[in-house]
Amino acid sequence: MMRRTTALLLLAALAFPVSTARAQGLNGKSAGPAVLPVLPEGWLVSAAETRDFRGEEGFNEAPALRPRALVPMIDILRPEPAADLKVKAPFAITVQFRAQADAPIDPATFKVMYGAFKLDITGRITKFVKVTQDGFSLENAQIPVGKHRLTLLVLDEKQRVAERELRFEVE
């Protein structure tokens, strides 16, 4: 299985022009080199990434989310989360952050991970929107037809993590 996954990733890397970046962890520190394909203007995820990073297959896995106790919250306002959510691309994504009274949200820690392998697509979103302590709104999210899973993460100034998942199908 590991060899097949490695081979698929290698084929995906060879199939697209690439830009080299440094992957970053939640704390903003470098986690090593990452190679992402260059996408057409406005697209957040390519059709190849949908296949290679288990967008469709990962859509059905149970979320591994942190419990919501004294942590900041992420509310997804658009598209309104629902079971079997179906959207047509391009579509709007509006996210609101809610901090706890003792610590504001640190927008610099915001991350968006795609699919089961949690491909970091944060830079693709922040290219089009400014993330603030209150959240962000992206009016024209371009994602290929299929089932997708986005995991949104943000920390507050006490390093507490808010995590929220958005699953949807693009028709």
Exposed / middle / buried, residue 33 (Cβ in 10 Å: 0-12, 13-18, 19+) = exposed
Kindly provide the residue ranges of all beta strands, DSSP E only, lying in the chain, ordered along the sequence: 18-24, 30-37, 73-78, 86-87, 91-98, 105-114, 119-120, 135-141, 146-156, 161-170
Residues 77-122: tens digit of each pLDDT: 999 988 899 999 999 999 999 999 999 999 999 999 999 999 999 9
Please give the domain boundaries of the chain with CATH numbers for all domains: 2-170 (2.60.40.10)
With residues binned 3-state (H G I as helix, E B as strand, rest as coil), the percentages for the chain, rounded to 5, are 20, 45, 40
Q: Within a 10 A sphere around the Cβ of 90, how many other Cβ atoms?
A: 16
So what's the pLDDT on residue 171?
95
Residues 13-61: tens digit of each pLDDT: 434 444 333 444 444 454 555 567 788 888 888 888 887 777 777 777 7
Q: In the numeric block, which tokens belong to residue 125?
A: 């979103």
